[in-house]
Chain A
């Protein structure tokens, strides 16, 4: 909460269209994450990044792409290859994973709800 901004709040995608979800943080956090949430489901990790210009696939990366050109920004593109994109997308950040257990507490943005027209 506070310091992580996701936009837009609602987004509609047409068939065959790529759309990009924005995530910006001013917490000076190293690590950033994208999750997908479907009704009745938990949070499924799409991509994560621990450092600028580096990112790793999560559990459900197919049909998505990301970039990490700046520490504070981690945009997610939902490509036309993602056939079932309707979901709630959450971006999160943390100081850093692994190095210190106290530093991997995740702070979430308010989310983007993506629907297909």
Chain B
């Protein structure tokens, strides 16, 4: 079945440093979504990418969808303590009814 691999599992950064998490699928995806889960909280939708090679920005966050629609990345520029949490990617395979989540990247930011 479809698998979505996400790396790294953990990332510790100093405030102000950049952060990137990567997501790779074993199959071509119809779309990819990114969610953020704050410590003790629940996942919250951030963004959805649909087109091959698509790039979207939300303030300091940049999301990319690969040309082959099998990989994606989330990059945070100049991290802040408010960025702390676990970032999940989730992919929907063409014709599938189910989102498949990666295991997430847990980001900690040292002030």
Contacts and interface: CB of A to CB of B under 8 A. Distances in A.
Contacts of A45: 98
B97 A110 contact: no
Contact of B99 (A40, A56, A106): A106
Contacts of A43: 43, 88, 90, 101
Contacts of A50: 97
Contacts of A58: 98
B101 A110 contact: no
A107 B104 contact: no
B85 interface: no
Interface in A75-117: 90, 92, 97-98, 101-102, 104-111
Interface in B38-97: 41-45, 48, 50, 88, 90, 92, 95-97
B30 A105 contact: no
Contacts, number: 59
Contact of A97 (B35, B42, B50, B97): B97
B42 A105 contact: no
B103 A40 contact: yes
Interface string A29-52: 000000100001111110010100
B25 interface: no
Contact of A101 (B42, B45, B50, B98): B50
A15 interface: no
B101 A1 contact: no
B42 A42 contact: no
A105 B44 CA distance: 10
